[in-house]
Amino acid sequence: MDGVVRTRVGYAGGNSNNPTYHNLDGHSETIQIDYDPTKVTYEELLEVFWDSHDPTTLPWSRQYMSIVFYHNEEQRQIAIASKEREESRLGRHIITEIIPFSEFYLAEDYHQKYYLRQEPELFRELSAIYPDIGDFINSTAVARLNGYVGGYGIPETLEKELNSLGLSEAGKVRLQQIADRGLVAGCLVP
């Protein structure tokens, strides 16, 4: 999605500091999305959020709860209105919680950039470009590539930015092969 600058997976909404996958203490698995509000709005991100899962289904644990975190009153109001529109569209009650953001805790390294980790050739290439795991996790190019490998994005956007993502010619060919399997137009690049 144009305007998404960085994505990271982690934990939020719980009761403890520094949760881990095996010790969440009320936290839920979340994704943190940094975005450029001149290119994509909070409301547009929420539309993708609603379309990316079934917000009417109860999770089997708090770990997998559907939650929208807001940073200010404006975002809270937008999130509530968006939820109400989605409930009306679906004709069903949405169980997604809308709660204030307090702190985000980065998940363990092995949880980051899941889709790229399933493509050893691209993962190795990007790991060589970003040998520091923090740089890898925080890279805009890596976030965008992870989304494309996951099947998300718009083919025209991939075509426009392919040469700016830092891949070798072999990496570009491999990414194009993956994308040719089908990108889901209009979806968030995770």
List where CATH 3.30.1060.10 sits in the chain: 4-106
**CATH level 3 topology of 4-106:** Peptide Methionine Sulfoxide Reductase; Chain A (3.30.1060)
Nearest alpha-carbon partner for 37 in 90, 82, 88, 1: 1
Q: pLDDT tens-digit profile of 134-157?
A: 999 999 999 999 989 988 887 888
Q: pLDDT tens-digit profile of 50-101?
A: 998 999 999 889 899 999 999 999 999 999 999 999 999 999 999 999 999 9
Asked if residue 9 lies in contact with residue 143, where contact means CB atoms within 8 angstroms, the answer is no
Alpha-helical regions (H) of the chain: 42-51, 73-90, 114-117, 120-129, 133-138, 140-149, 155-161, 169-180
pTM for this prediction: 0.83
